Amino acid sequence: MEERIISLLKRHQGYLSGEELSHSLGVSRQALWKHIQILKELGFDITAVPHLGYRLVSIPDRLYDFQVYQGLRTKTFGKKVLYFDSLKSTMDMATQLALKNAGEGTVVIAETQTKGKGRLGRIWYSPKFKGLYFSLILRPKISMDKASIITLLAGVSICEAIKDYPGEETQIKWPNDIILRNKKLGGILTEVKAELDEVNFLIIGVGLNINNDKKSLISGATSLRQESIEELSRLGIFQNILYRLESNYCLFQKRGPAEVIEKWRSLSFTLGKRVKVYSHKEHIEGEAVDIDSDGALLVRKDCGFTQKITAGDVVHCR
């Protein structure tokens, strides 16, 4: 109901009479008034003037499920959104839902996380209303060794979605750091539940710094706001990321990993650079020459031997 009220008020620039509004919605004037109060509590600025009706003055920068549904260009991704003001981690909530058979494309989003999870056991700092913190449930019919392609696919999708905002060109540091002007803008965490080497479900967790000011960023990180002047709509970026994620996921399902990998290569911040990789207590140094069809990084060591890296932390040498 809230979604329909906002949609009607948005379409109507001036005042919309209570009578017209309740008629279009098929509810009583009293019921309408109650829904308007709910919307006001959620932060929507709606003025009510006797004999004139209701007018939408402003919309809060929130990621409410019903706002996400409006103008979403996807077929399944984000068609079911579970919105939380605060969560420990959207990953845990998404996992619980997936275990209870939540469908592919279901999204859990929170305005803040008290124990946001980063890769390699790190904490993901999630200041309230500043960034995007969400987890997407996927159920691809793939074997475990192909799961990391989905992480690459997510990185590509985020870069493509941001590219739609003029002036912002991001790159990907292997495997999944989103980089803007040499600083970390976002990250992706993938958690997989598999049985007998087949993926049962996969949770893609995305953390992206959008409207963070300096105070709400950890060192070495940046936000879209820090790199441009304007305050951006987190909602618009979120809807765009879902759209790109779905398009690339369909591409991968239909035609396999080749095109996704090719896109990743063209967005890579790592390939062609001298890197140090810390993986499984091993420390490898060399040139990052390519990624293979499973998304593993290929590093050519000084001795000439090319090593395949499936997990680890990459540091770019100067």
By the criterion CB under 6 A, which residues form the site for ligand BTN? Answer: 89-91, 113, 116-119, 122, 124, 133-135, 177, 187-189, 205-207
Task: Choose between 227 and 313: whose C-beta lies nearer to ligand BTN.
Answer: 313
Task: Choose between 9 and 132: whose C-beta lies nearer to ligand BTN.
Answer: 132
Task: Choose between 91 and 235: whose C-beta lies nearer to ligand BTN.
Answer: 91
Give residue 288's Cα distance to chain centre: 27
Residue 182 phi, psi (nearest 5)? 70, 0
Task: Choose between 78 and 205: whose C-beta lies nearer to ligand BTN.
Answer: 205
**Rounded distance, CA 162 to CA 4, Å?**
29
Residue in this structure with the two tokens 């004999």, named with its chain if needed: 51
- What's the closest the beta carbon of residue 120 comes to ligand BTN, in angstroms? 7
What Cα–Cα distance (Å) separates residue 52 from each residue in 18, 21, 55?
Answer: 8, 12, 9
- What's the closest the beta carbon of residue 13 comes to ligand BTN, in angstroms? 37
Task: Choose between 9 and 203: whose C-beta lies nearer to ligand BTN.
Answer: 203
- DSSP secondary structure string for all residues of 227-263: HSSS---HHHHHHHHHHHHHHHHHHHHHH-SHHHHHH
- What's the closest the beta carbon of residue 228 comes to ligand BTN, in angstroms? 22
Residue in this structure with the two tokens 């449930």, named with its chain if needed: 137
Strand (E) or helix (H) holding 276? strand 274-279
Task: Choose between 72 and 203: whose C-beta lies nearer to ligand BTN.
Answer: 203
- What's the closest the beta carbon of residue 308 comes to ligand BTN, in angstroms? 22
- What's the closest the beta carbon of residue 204 comes to ligand BTN, in angstroms? 9
- What's the closest the beta carbon of residue 5 comes to ligand BTN, in angstroms? 30
Count of other CB atoms within 10 angstroms of residue 200: 12
Residue 202 phi, psi (nearest 5)? -140, 135
- What's the closest the beta carbon of residue 127 comes to ligand BTN, in angstroms? 12
| Residue 134, both tokens | 């969400």
Task: Choose between 15 and 133: whose C-beta lies nearer to ligand BTN.
Answer: 133
Helix residue spans in the chain (DSSP H): 2-11, 18-25, 29-41, 65-69, 90-99, 147-163, 224-227, 234-255, 258-267
- What's the closest the beta carbon of residue 181 comes to ligand BTN, in angstroms? 17
- What's the closest the beta carbon of residue 115 comes to ligand BTN, in angstroms? 7
Nearest C-alpha neighbor of 239 from the set 109, 50, 100:
109
Task: Choose between 9 and 149: whose C-beta lies nearer to ligand BTN.
Answer: 149
Please, which residues bridge with residue 109 across strands?
83, 134
| Residue 197, both tokens | 């080497």
**Pairing state of beta strands 107-110 and 81-84?**
parallel
Task: Choose between 53 and 187: whose C-beta lies nearer to ligand BTN.
Answer: 187
